[in-house]
Amino acid sequence: MQLTLNSPLDMHLHLRDGEMLKSVAPLSAHSFAAAIVMPNLVPPVTTIEAVNAYKARILEAIGEERFEPLMTLFFKESYDFAYLEKAKPYISAIKLYPAGITTNSEGGVGTIDSAALQMTLTAMSDLGIPLLIHGESNGFVMDREKEFIPVYEELATQFPELTIVMEHITTKESVAALERHENLYATITLHHLLITLDEVAGGMLQPHLFCKPIAKRPEDREALLSVALAAHPKVMFGSDSAPHPQHAKEACGCAAGVFTAPIALPALAQLFESHGKLDNLQPFVSDNAQIIYGYTPPEKTVVLEKKPFRVPQKYGDVVPMYAGEELAWRIASVR
Ligand code: DOR
Ligand code: ZN
C-alpha cells in the first residue's frame, strides 16, 4: 500500500540554531516542502535583520533540499504599522508567547489583552499578518490551556479580520472554541494525537514525551483526533517538533519538547490508516494550511509505503519519539 502526499507542510517547527540547526534542519527539509519556523531562539528573533540572518543560516543548513522556511517574528508590543509593513515581505506570521510560559519565552508578553496590544494587533490585522499564540495561563498545569481560551475569544472578537492560530491545541475546550469564531484556527501536533498524560507520567516518567502544553486527558485526545482525522478545514498539522540534546531531556529538570520531525509523516500515515482516514491526511498536512495562510508551497511529492520503519535511537544528539520502535509506514521516495 502506498500514499502520495503533495507538498507536506509543518506549520509549527523549532529548528534552533548553531550545531543543532545543522543537525535537525535537513531532516525536516527532506520530507516537508515548507515549515513555519518558530522564533524562540536566545535572543528571540525580534527584528527584520534577525529574521533574514536566521533564514540564511537555515538555508545553508539544508543544502540542496527543496524546502521553504516560513519565518516568524517574536511578538513585541512595540511593533508598529510602519515596521510591520517593512517586515511583511520577509515573514509569514508573528508568534506571541506569554512571558516565561515555555522554552526561551522570558521576553514574551506580560499582560495579554486587546487594549495593551492594540497598536501591534491593529497593524497585523490591517496588513494581513497571522497571529500565532502559545495559549497557556500561569495556572495549574492541566488547566493552563483551558484558562487561556477567554483571551483567544477576546482577541478574536476585538480583531475580527485578524487570523489567529491557537498553536498546538491539547484540549476539547480549544476544539470547541474553533467553532465560535470565524477567525480562530489551530495547529495540532502528532504527539498530542497519540498520547495522554498517562503515557508521560502514568508509569515510569518519560522525559522524551514531556512538552508544553502537557498532554491531557483521553477525552481531550479524542476531540483532537475527531477534527484531525476529519481534516476539519480550521485545523492543520504543526509538529511542534522541539529538539533538545539528550542530556537536557534525561536530566533533573527536563527540558520541554518532543522531537518528531523525522518520524512525523510515517507516524501520521500509520495513525490515519488505523482509523480508515488516509484520504484526509493530504488536507491535514498541506491543503488546509495553504488555504488558511493563502500560501502556495514549492512542489514536492512524498511517497509513503506500508513497510516497517525502525526509528533510530538518536538523530545526532537528539532522541526522537518512538526511538528504537517500529512504525508500519516509511518514506519510500521524495521528488
Ligand atoms: O514543549 C515545548 N517545547 N513547547 C514549546 O512551546 C516550546 C518548545 C521548545 O522550544 O522547546
Ligand atoms: Zn512550539
Known active-site residue 240? yes
Q: Per-residue pLDDT tens for 227-279?
A: 999 999 999 999 999 999 999 999 999 999 999 999 999 999 999 999 999 99
Whether residue 197 is predicted with pLDDT greater than 90 in this model: the reply is yes
pLDDT confidence of residue 241? 98
Read off φ and ψ for residue 12, nearest 5 degrees.
Answer: -165, 105
* Residue to mutate, 104, 133, 240, 254, ligand 1, most ligand atoms under 8 Å from C-beta: 240
pLDDT confidence of residue 113? 84
pTM: 0.98
CA dihedral (180, 184, 190, 195) positive or negative: negative
Atom of ligand 1 nearest to the CA of 243: 11
Given 10, 80, 143, 240, the catalytic residue: 240
Block residue for cell numbers 519538547: 257
- Regarding the beta carbon of 211 and ligand 1, being less than 6 Å apart is answered yes
For residue 1, report the distance from its CA to the centre of ligand 1, in Å. Answer: 35
User: In the predicted model, what is the mean pLDDT of residues 56-85?
Assistant: 97
Categorize the per-residue pLDDT at 111 as very low, low, confident or very high, splitting at 50, 70 and 90.
Answer: confident
For residue 220, report the distance from its CA to the centre of ligand 1, in Å. Answer: 20
79-83 contact pairs (CB < 8 A, 24+): 79/119, 79/120, 79/123, 80/119, 80/120, 80/123, 81/119, 81/122, 81/123, 81/126, 81/127, 83/48
Residue pair 93/36 in contact by the 8 Å Cβ criterion: yes
Domains contained in the chain, CATH given: 2-334 (3.20.20.140)
pLDDT confidence of residue 114? 84
* Residue to mutate, 211, 216, 239, ligand 1, most ligand atoms under 8 Å from C-beta: 211
- Regarding the beta carbon of 257 and ligand 1, being less than 6 Å apart is answered yes
Q: What percent of the chain has pLDDT over 70?
A: 100
Q: What would the grid cell of residue 11 be?
A: 506549520
Q: Per-residue pLDDT tens for 55-69?
A: 999 999 999 999 999
Average pLDDT, the chain: 97
- Regarding the beta carbon of 239 and ligand 1, being less than 6 Å apart is answered no
Q: Helix 18-31 crosses helix 48-62 at what angle (to 10 degrees)?
A: 70
Nearest to 10 by CA among 264, 302, 244, 303: 264
Whether residue 115 is predicted with pLDDT greater than 90 in this model: the reply is no
Q: Per-residue pLDDT tens for 288-314?
A: 999 999 999 999 999 999 999 999 999
pLDDT confidence of residue 142? 98
Block residue for cell numbers 511529492: 301
pLDDT confidence of residue 6? 98
